[in-house]
Every structure is written in C-alpha cells, then in structure tokens.
Amino acid sequence: MIAIVDYGMGNLGSVSNACAFLGLPSRIVKSPDELRDCRAMILPGVGAFGDCMEHLRSHGFVDAVKEWIAADRPFLGICLGLQVLYEGSEESPGVAGLGVLPGRALRFAATPELKVPQIGWNRVRQRAAGGPLFKEVPDGAYFYFVHSYYAPLSGTDLDAGISSYGLDYASAIRRGRMAAVQFHPEKSQAAGLQLLRNFGEWVEAC
C-alpha cells in the first residue's frame, strides 16, 4: 500500500487518480498512525514552503517523514515535496525545512525572456542516479512544471534528473529509496505515468 500524505495541502486528487489508473494500491492518509501498514510514501505539495512546513507540523508528519526516509523506505516527493526535503527555502526565510538534505531552495531570477514561475513543459535530462525511476522513459522527455523555486545541483549522484530554465537545476533527486521530482508526474501524460508506474514497481521490488 502506498500512502499519499494529506497534510492539508497538495494535489491529492490527481495523484490518487493517477495511482488508481495504474492499478497501484494506494490510499490517502491524514495522520502518521495510518502509515503503519503502508510500504511506500508519496508526499505531494503545492503552495508556499512556509505554509507546507506549518501544515506538516500541525498534522504530525514532520518526524514521521524524516523517520521514514531515515529508515530507507520507498519515498517519492512531488514538486514542493522535493523542496521541503532541504534545510530551507528563499521563499520562507527563517522557516526550517525537513533538513533531510543540506542547502535550500532558491528562486529563479526573472528576465524578459524567462517568466517566474516556470509554468509548462520542460525537458528532464536523466543521470545514472535516476536508476529505476526513469525506466522506459526517454532521456530528455518532457514533464509538466509549475514552480518559482528550485533545488540547486549538488554535483553528486543525488542529481537524478537535470532541467534548464535560465540555469541548470535538479529536477529529480534520488538517494537510496528516497526520490523526489520537481515536476508533476501525475500531470505529465505518458512519461509521468511511466515514472509513477516505475515507482510502484520499485516499491514491489523493495
């Protein structure tokens, strides 16, 4: 069973519908107690970094998510669910993230050519670190993005996918059984559905 975390924010319906379409056993969970019989976790997210962290705390999910990742259990963060893995974000100065990864999310610099937020389709260049996440997904496939902040490249094998929007940034990360993507796979048509299918197969293999 894949837990789709409901902490009061996030694109729960579209993620849940995508999992149902693919036949992936999943359910929306509203408290950490409901995680006990789940094998994997999806942390979706839309909105502001500070609001997200406040909702995670008020729903009791901060420690639960950190302990889940520390135990190397299958995890997939989506959009803001990637950014909150870091120590913080320029979007919400002084607000601590989950701190699973060092550093913070940065804001894109708007230019006459590049609007902020980035909204629409963009390519993801795969790196070896992506492993099973991108199985049968063509390198350079397009995914759907909506975001103003990004995770800088680490220069390590954490960087599983790279996209460009005025600069190169990490659009997918992976460490052990923890993965996260800046784009919305549930809104990315065939490539996104394949990535979610891969996550389901990854869960079974684990």
Q: Which of 19, 52, 79, 91 is catalytic?
A: 79
Q: What is the pLDDT of residue 21?
A: 87
Which residues have CB under 8 Å from 204's CB, separation 6+? Answer: none
Contact (Cβ atoms closer than 8 angstroms) between residue 182 and residue 171: yes
State the total domains in the chain: 1
Which percentage of the chain shows pLDDT scores above 70? 100
Question: How far is it, in rounded angstroms, from Cα 127 to Cα 189?
Answer: 21
Tokens found for residue 200: 């389901």
Q: What is the dihedral of CA 81, 82, 87, 91, to 10 degrees?
A: -80
Q: What is the pLDDT of residue 113?
A: 86
Domain CATH code at residue 71: 3.40.50.880
Question: How far is it, in rounded angstroms, from Cα 206 to Cα 201?
Answer: 9
Active-site annotation holds for 147: no
Compute CA distances 66 → 85, 97, 100, whole Å.
9, 11, 7
pLDDT digits (tens, 9 = 90+) for 102-146: 999 999 998 888 899 999 999 999 998 778 999 999 999 999 999
Residue 58 half-sphere exposure toward CB, CA atoms < 13 A: 10
H/E stretch holding 202: helix 189-205
Q: What is the pLDDT of residue 129?
A: 72
pLDDT digits (tens, 9 = 90+) for 10-40: 678 888 888 898 999 998 988 898 898 899 9
Whole domain around residue 142: which residue ranges?
A: 2-205
Q: Which of 19, 52, 91, 186 is catalytic?
A: 186
pLDDT digits (tens, 9 = 90+) for 72-84: 999 999 999 999 9
55 three-class SS: helix
Q: What pTM was estimated for this model as a whole?
A: 0.94
SS3 content of the chain, % helix, strand, coil (to 5): 30, 30, 40
Q: Distance between terminal CA atoms of the chain? A: 13
Active-site annotation holds for 186: yes
pLDDT digits (tens, 9 = 90+) for 136-154: 999 999 999 999 999 999 9
Give the neighbor-by-neighbor strand order of the sheet with 168-175: 26-29, 2-5, 40-43, 75-78, 178-181, 168-175, 159-164, 125-126
Q: Which of 38, 52, 91, 184 is catalytic?
A: 184
**Pick from 169, 99, 156, 168: which is nearest to 129 by CA?**
156
Contact (Cβ atoms closer than 8 angstroms) between residue 134 and residue 198: yes
Active-site annotation holds for 38: no
pLDDT digits (tens, 9 = 90+) for 59-69: 899 999 999 99
